[in-house]
């Protein structure tokens, strides 16, 4: 579990770093210019690290499924080599997804005005600026992003349906522990996947609400992921409880 959490934290850091620094700089400097090369680089990096996060969340769901539904086989099924293989596959799948997104976008002709109705470079706003028919490209973009998002979301839901079916036979105490272990992951999945599904599993159009939904999966979800997993971790909660319950030390007449 901690191996996948480390990988998720690293992907969160890289993912939000593709958008947040540029956004903050633009707000402070009141400048909202980005070069064509910078735009394509941001597009590739965002979909690459976002794809890694999507696939790692799916791998974490499978990890929980094995831990709860096949506990005696867990050490064999989720060995260290298997965990490395899962993360490597996540990176390879994300690279393939991001490469296709950029390949579909980089050849589009832009005649101006080159004003993106978004706070970062994404495929749908760029398709809106292209001075050519983007119907076929839009279908390919939806097939690439939508299929990836939908398939991983279905796999996640199936994993948790199987977990719920399995824990029905557990005693009440064991059932509560199993569901508590899954609650943090479910919260992160909902925060991240619901906006992603809303934006990418639909025809290639832009809506005014897109920027609000994009905030959830680019900034809010990566920011809250460490807090969600930390506050649901029993060891961390016990450590924080010990810190809060410590008595103050006396140094002369001063209390700290």
Q: How far apart are CA 98 and CA 254, in angstroms?
A: 58
Q: Map tokens 């993912």 to a residue.
A: 15
pLDDT band at 248 (very low <50, low <70, confident <90, very high): low
**Do 92 and 33 contact (CB within 8 A), yes or no?**
no
Identify the H or E element spanning 255.
strand 254-255
DSSP 3-state percent helix, strand, coil across the chain (nearest 5) = 75, 0, 20
Write the CB contacts of 96 (distance below 8 Å, at least 6 apart in sequence).
none
Q: Judge contact between 11 and 48, C-beta under 8 A.
A: no
Report which listed range, 43-57, 63-77, 163-177, is most confident: 43-57
Q: What does the alpha-carbon distance between residue 34 and residue 151 come to, in Å, rounded to a whole number?
A: 33
Mean pLDDT of 12-23: 89
The helix or strand, by DSSP H or E, that contains position 251, with its residue range, turns out to be strand 250-251
pTM of the model: 0.85
What is the pLDDT averaged over residues 210-230?
84
Is residue 18 within 8 Å of residue 49, measured between CB atoms? yes
User: Three-class SS of residue 130?
Assistant: strand
Decide if 122 is inside a domain. Answer: yes
- Look up the domain containing 120 and give its range: 1-247
Rounded Cα gap, residues 172 and 87, in angstroms: 34
253 in any annotated domain: no
Q: Is residue 133 part of a domain?
A: yes
Separation between Cα atoms, residue 233 and residue 75, nearest integer Å: 21
Burial of 194 (0-12, 13-18, 19+ CB in 10 A): middle
> Is 252 a member of any domain?
no
In tens, the pLDDT along 53-83 reads 999 999 988 888 888 888 888 888 888 899 9
CA distance 230 to 232: 5
CATH number at 114 reads 1.20.1070.10
Closest residue by Cα to residue 54 from 105, 1, 83, 97: 97
Strand partners, 130: 110
Residue 193 near residue 61 (C-beta atoms within 8 A)? no
102 with 40: CB under 8 angstroms?
yes
Q: How many CA atoms lie within 13 A of 229 on its CB side?
A: 17
The pLDDT of residue 97 is: 92
Share of the chain above pLDDT 90, in %: 18
Q: Locate 12 and state its tokens.
A: 């969160």
Tally of domains within the chain: 1
Query: Is residue 256 in a domain?
Result: no
Q: And the tokens for 234?
A: 């029993």
Tell me what the mean pLDDT of segment 18-32 comes to.
83
């Amino acid at each position: 579990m901690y191996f996948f959490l480390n990988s998720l934290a690293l992907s969160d850091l890289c993912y939000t770093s593709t958008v947040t620094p540029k956004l903050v700089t633009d707000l402070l400097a009141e400048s909202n210019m980005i070069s064509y090369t910078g735009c394509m680089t941001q597009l590739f990096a965002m979909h690459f690290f976002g794809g890694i996060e999507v696939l790692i969340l799916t791998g974490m769901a499978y990890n929980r499924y094995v831990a709860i539904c096949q506990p005696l086989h867990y050490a064999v099924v989720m060995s260290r080599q298997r965990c490395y293989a899962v993360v490597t596959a996540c990176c390879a799948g994300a690279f393939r997804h991001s490469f296709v997104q950029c390949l579909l976008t980089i050849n589009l002709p832009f005649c101006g005005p080159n004003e993106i109705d978004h706070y970062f470079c994404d495929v749908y706003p760029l398709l809106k600026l292209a001075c050519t028919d983007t119907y076929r490209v839009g279908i390919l973009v939806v097939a690439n992003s939508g299929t990836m998002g939908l398939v991983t979301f279905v796999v996640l839901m199936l994993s948790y349906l199987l977990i719920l079916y399995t824990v029905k036979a557990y005693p009440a105490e064991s059932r509560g522990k199993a569901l508590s272990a899954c609650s943090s992951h479910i919260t992160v999945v909902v925060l991240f996947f619901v906006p992603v599904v809303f934006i990418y599993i639909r025809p290639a159009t832009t809506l005014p609400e897109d920027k609000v939904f994009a905030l959830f999966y680019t900034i809010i979800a990566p920011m809250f992921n460490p807090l969600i997993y930390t506050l649901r971790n029993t060891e961390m909660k016990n450590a924080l409880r010990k810190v809060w319950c410590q008595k103050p030390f006396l140094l002369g007449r001063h209390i700290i």
